[in-house]
Amino acid sequence: MADLKLLALDSDDLAVISAHTQDAVVRVGDMGYAQADKRFAMLMNRYDWEEGTVRNKGVR
């Protein structure tokens, strides 16, 4: 499964990210803010419903 990379430039983009990551699991150590770039980033683990097959089995 390829990594999903999401970027929000406005509130509409943030709504899309929210929908994709609503049940994601995040560790505090996987969050960071790059002050020089004014950019916040984090790594998340989520259940991939898009890859689900028979009996609602997906990929973690």
pLDDT the model gives residue 59: 59
Q: Does 24 reside within a domain? A: yes
Q: Does 42 reside within a domain? A: yes
Provide the domain limits for residue 48. 11-56
Q: Does 5 reside within a domain? A: no
Q: Does 40 reside within a domain? A: yes
Q: What angle do CA 50, 56, 60 make, to 5 degrees?
A: 55
Identify the burial level of 33 via C-beta atoms within 10 angstroms of its C-beta, where 0-12 means exposed, 13-18 middle and 19 or more buried.
Answer: exposed
Q: Does 3 reside within a domain? A: no
- Count up the domains in the chain and report the number: 1
pLDDT the model gives residue 36: 97
Taking the whole predicted model, whether its pTM rises above 0.75 is answered as no
Token pair belonging to 4: 């999903």
Q: Does 1 reside within a domain? A: no
Q: Does 20 reside within a domain? A: yes
* Low pLDDT (below 70) residues in the chain: 1, 50, 52-60
pLDDT the model gives residue 25: 92
